[in-house]
Structure 1
Amino acid sequence: MDRPLHGVRVLEVARSANVASAGAVLADWGADVIKVDTPDGDGRPAPGPVVAAPNRGKRSIGLGLGMAEARPVLEELIRRSDVFLTDHPAAACAKLRIDLDEVRRVNPGIIYVTGSGCGTAGPDRDRGADEATAFWARGGSADGLTAPDAGHAAPTPSSGYGDNVAALAVAGGVAAALYGRRATGEPSVLDVSLLAVGAWANQFTVNSALAAGGPLPKLDTRPQSLGNPLVGGYRTADGRFITLAMSQPARHWPEFCRLMGRDDCAFDPRFTAPDTLAEHIDEAVGIVATAIAARSFAECCRLLEPGTGAWAPVQDGWEVGNDEALIANGRIAEVVDARGGTQRLVANPVKFDDGRLRLGRAPSVAEHTEDVLREIGFDEDALTELKFAGAIS
């Protein structure tokens, strides 16, 4: 069963990447996701990966939610859906009549899901927020990666970083709610905020601070700050980086030294016992740094490969997209776009059974309007009237 949500219909009224990406994950898992775009496509970014990834596998309809003529279409879609997915704040939902009460009036059994910035309760429930503010800055990640003497806070590693983490939480919540409705007959109301996901990602730091009764001291990010020369990132001769994560230095030091051509240090008593290692940590770090800095990135990878200690190359986006492990497990998948071209995209990280993930392309704005409306009972005359009124495209 590689598409466990086959037969589930999701109605998505959203623009933000965290909710749109959640819809894409649900589509990957087999759901029929109908995305409501504006008739003129306003708010949809220009074509490219930023559109292809979060909108893949969906069907798009152009519908003017604020128009009275569009209301019967919207209500019929709600009536036939299992999940209503939105990122609109409460005031906007009320204005468009897509708030919980209105949606449940039409379909009492629908699962209602909000992807918010800072939650649907509390003082900031109507405050605008995105991944950079709610997830990254307010959720603690920026502080965790900002050195004590830095001139600016650490930025997010890539566009959509927090959005994509939150999307998995939204999709997982929807799956749990579908199971719960089947088991109990009761539909859930879900809220997954970027702030809550940011706090969850940093839960160990947050929990430790709460236990300590105040802010934690800033960590020294150098490898030797942990008292272990085999933990941390080291620069190679050609400007790349290797990350070591060998948490038991006494166990892995001799092997590392042999692999990197430093047999003379392998059993040096200064580095083979915890107490003496602590006394000579700077020397140990220097040995590791010098050994790696003397070799190219490729050579370091080749030498470390047969070892038993944990390490990894620091990869850029191109290398991640061509990572053999991701490809072998089907986590880089191909999709044919609207022009017939083949594009590779990162797949969601959940692999069901041994099925090969098949990604559907992102739709053009309003591409499926007529098909979807015919499915839910609107005839040609009704479609013509809706087009004439500007309610659909």
Structure 2
Amino acid sequence: MRKVLEGVRLIEVAEWFFVPGAGTVLADWGVDVIKIEHPVRGDPLRGLIHSGMVPGAKGVNFFIENGSRNKRSVGLDLNSERGREVLYRLVETADVFLTNFLPAARKRLKIDVEDLRQVNPRLIYARGTGQGPLGPEAERGGFDAGSFWCRGAVAHMLTEPGKPPIMQRAAFGDTIGATFIAGGIAAALYHREKTGKPSVVDVSLLGTAVWLMAPDILAARALGHELPHGDRSRAPNPLMNTYLCQDGKWLMLMMLTPVRHWEEFCKAVERPDLLETYPLPRWVDESVRQELVRELDRHFATRPRAAWIERLLQFDTLHAPVQTPLEVLEDPQVKANGYLVDYIHPQYGPFQVASSPVQFDLEPTDVRRVAPEMGQDTEQVLLEHGYTWEEIAQLKEQQVIP
């Protein structure tokens, strides 16, 4: 991938994935990301696999490999005065400081905006939070399953009425929010280049959800009630719905403008009679739409999904298979665009990580460095910042670094 931000240095004091994920995206774009970890326990994300949180993972920590590639790791005890001195030395030459530590921890460790701006007045300071930097819960933390998925109405609108809320997949909101943080930092770098003024960048999991759920939230405000959700039999547009095929696989129709696609679709599925039975003016009646969904259910159940896709591709229709993760691995579009990156890991052998979503000049993400072991790059980074071997030995003796 083209290193569009090469020459930028970022200090990451963050754990889990929401905020470190932003460091991952920026590292893919060429930023020198130095990840600060506790010298003994490291980032708690490192323990998810080995603690059994992901059954059957066999010790391969794909969370860390995906989230810490192209970064360097420095083990550093920020609770000690010497540890803070080391951090301040690193901050002196940094462009960005990235953190998800809570306000109380930032104050205690003396790594808040005011502390670090005294060291480096040009420093861009980026924070990821659960509920935002202001308000009665600004001091509280949050994970994406709560602050994003549940509090932001995502779970509610994806759950069938009367059923327990469905649970999100791992790091779902984190990954989206991380990309927003990366974009915010890139914009702040441009702003500083144009004006000389550094910014404080804030992204929250709750704010991310509000942005993503804006159509539903704003509709609720305008209508005074929420839009129908969760019941595919009541789809407002039968051409924006999922249908079960003969082989037990689902197909998604994605034709947002029936006036454009209805006639073409009827040709594609070889049902010209539907044009007469269900002309578009009748679709204003919900009972007619439900009847059409039932008819399409019966029709799609007569052939396997691959046969339907082959047929639909011959016409001006929009559709997509409802794929499993294993099917995504073999998707020809995923392979053609490099959305999964192949490389040889020195420990695990042939390996894959997911590409960050932005490409420059059609160049996919490349893994220049595999995810480091905790504190792997401590000595090298300290030497780059003027420390001598004697000083490094003293820091080790004082247990400031591993």
CA distance in 1, matches of 2:13, 2:228: 41
Deviation at 1:231, TM superposition (A): 2.1
CA distance in 1, matches of 2:179, 2:260: 37
CA distance in 1, matches of 2:126, 2:330: 35
CA distance in 2, matches of 1:355, 1:229: 38
* CA deviation vs aligned residue, 1:121-167 (integer Å, no higher than 9, x gap): 111111121101111111111111122221x11211x1010000000
Contact 2:355–2:364 (Cα < 8 Å) also in 1: no
Q: Does 1:296 align with 2:304?
A: yes
Q: Does 1:155 align with 2:162?
A: no
Match for 2:75: what amino acid?
G
1:260-275 mapped onto 2 (5 Å cutoff): 260-263=269-272, 265-267=273-275, 269-275=276-282
Within the candidate set 148, 154, 158, 1:135 is matched to 148
1:85-100 mapped onto 2 (5 Å cutoff): 85-100=98-113
2:20 aligned partner: 20
Moved more, 318-327 or 10-19: 318-327
Identity of aligned residues (%): 36
2:30 aligned partner: 30
Match for 1:233: what amino acid?
T
* CA deviation vs aligned residue, 1:103-132 (integer Å, no higher than 9, x gap): 111111100011110111111111121101
Contact 1:234–1:241 (Cα < 8 Å) also in 2: yes
1:387 aligned partner: 396
CA distance in 1, matches of 2:82, 2:280: 77
Q: Does 1:178 align with 2:189?
A: yes
Match for 1:312: what amino acid?
A
Q: Classify 1:11/1:65 alpha carbon distance in 2 versus 1 (closer, same or farther; 3 Å).
A: same
Q: Does 1:204 align with 2:212?
A: no
2:232 aligned partner: 222
1:5 aligned partner: 5
Aligned length: 387
Q: Classify 1:266/1:44 alpha carbon distance in 2 versus 1 (closer, same or farther; 3 Å).
A: closer
Deviation at 1:16, TM superposition (A): 2.6
CA distance in 2, matches of 1:200, 1:304: 33
Match for 1:144: what amino acid?
M
Deviation at 1:309, TM superposition (A): 1.3
Contact 1:223–1:233 (Cα < 8 Å) also in 2: no
Q: Classify 1:291/1:191 alpha carbon distance in 2 versus 1 (closer, same or farther; 3 Å).
A: same
Q: Classify 1:381/1:198 alpha carbon distance in 2 versus 1 (closer, same or farther; 3 Å).
A: same
CA distance in 2, matches of 1:172, 1:205: 24
Deviation at 1:225, TM superposition (A): 3.2
1:119-134 mapped onto 2 (5 Å cutoff): 119-134=132-147
Contact 2:159–2:229 (Cα < 8 Å) also in 1: no
Q: Which runs of 4+ in 1 moved over 6 A?
A: none
Contact 2:235–2:289 (Cα < 8 Å) also in 1: no
Deviation at 1:196, TM superposition (A): 0.4
1:79 aligned partner: 92
Contact 1:270–1:277 (Cα < 8 Å) also in 2: no
Deviation at 1:291, TM superposition (A): 1.6
Match for 1:222: what amino acid?
R
* CA deviation vs aligned residue, 1:43-64 (integer Å, no higher than 9, x gap): 2424511111111110001111
1:310 aligned partner: 318
Q: Classify 1:73/1:289 alpha carbon distance in 2 versus 1 (closer, same or farther; 3 Å).
A: same
Within the candidate set 323, 326, 330, 2:338 is matched to 330
Deviation at 1:345, TM superposition (A): 1.4
Match for 2:46: what amino acid?
P
Deviation at 1:318, TM superposition (A): 1.9
Match for 1:87: what amino acid?
N
1:114 aligned partner: 127
CA distance in 1, matches of 2:325, 2:97: 33
Q: Classify 1:189/1:233 alpha carbon distance in 2 versus 1 (closer, same or farther; 3 Å).
A: same
Deviation at 1:95, TM superposition (A): 1.1
1:189 aligned partner: 200
Q: Does 1:56 align with 2:95?
A: no
TM-score (norm 1): 0.93
* CA deviation vs aligned residue, 1:152-185 (integer Å, no higher than 9, x gap): 11211x1010000000110000000000000000
Unaligned runs of 5+ residues in structure 1 are: none
Deviation at 1:81, TM superposition (A): 0.6
Match for 1:195: what amino acid?
L
Q: Does 1:39 align with 2:25?
A: no
CA distance in 2, matches of 1:128, 1:164: 17
Unaligned runs of 5+ residues in structure 2 are: 48-59
CA distance in 2, matches of 1:334, 1:11: 27
CA distance in 2, matches of 1:276, 1:85: 51
SS in 2 for 1:18: coil
* CA deviation vs aligned residue, 1:83-119 (integer Å, no higher than 9, x gap): 0000001000111111111111111110001111011
Q: Classify 1:335/1:121 alpha carbon distance in 2 versus 1 (closer, same or farther; 3 Å).
A: farther
